[in-house]
Structure 1
């Protein structure tokens, strides 16, 4: 096995930017929302730099960009409601799995690791996405950004997952694509593994100093299968 897996029993995965590229659908929902408000609409590249802190922050960043100033509460509430409706209507139309994700998850599950999903995406969207891609059965627990009182970069969701299954933090690994994932993992006492292809607000994920950086999840798959 890859050395990062030695002594590990639980592997926590981020979702957006780690397992799936969801930005095309997020961007489409934002464009419809801002268009209805008669505001400028962003391109997909801009949206990629806004993802990572949950839906309310994503909408706030888009409104700030479009209006040139932070939104007032009533506009934020109206835009968030519209975004949730648009995204909820088609969360999988343009979203795709990253390479080797399905094989890696299947291999790690068969190798006996407990797999959990810890994302800042609202909980209501998790099940439809996992079911669409055939990933649901491999996760023993799924936590969204609104499941608990705090979300990443807080360590709370990670520690909740470890406690749920009776594992110590040193027996756990956090896998993600952003500084929020790596920061949460370090704060929780998890080992951390970063992937470079996701969303990290335009900064190289190496700056977060993860324990391991891999180009794809295929390396973990191959390690788990060895």
Structure 2
């Protein structure tokens, strides 16, 4: 299930991002938040819907600061104790279990979760990555999933050919899971999930690198 550096090409992403993967790390490849947002000085993070289907209540995520130079906004998801830099022009909400961020057209969506590996029935982050990849392939025929350990100890799972969701105008999609184990307690971790249209998979991987490189986690 887990790929060595020599087999990183198994990630069938037709972009230069593969070069970054051969080193066992995520790399923005020179892209910045300007490449993924709209320069609105952060105003998008204070408007929009505050609930999702099924009546789940969400609240706007707290804005900690705005960086006009990089066209990014720093937010804190209190529910998962995580701070992120996100592109201007997005929206972000949260409920008691997760933080959610997305472009206004919802073409790109990000979710941040806390994971208790024992509660999920697995030993640790590695077991969780392998189990989730296998489970997705079993539940959704046609979906391809590959998992690998990165140099910093995190685990990346790439799901390809994921069917589009109700809010998606085009499909299929590519979804990335980045699992970051707590350095002091390997039984828990943070999961960052990013979904993008398949034709934007390469840029999506670079965006994941950009966001997680600027992420702060209160373990």
TM-score by length of 2: 0.24
Higher helix share: 1
Higher strand share: 2
TM-score by length of 1: 0.23
- Structure possessing the higher relative contact order (Cα contacts under 8 Å, 6 or more residues apart): 1
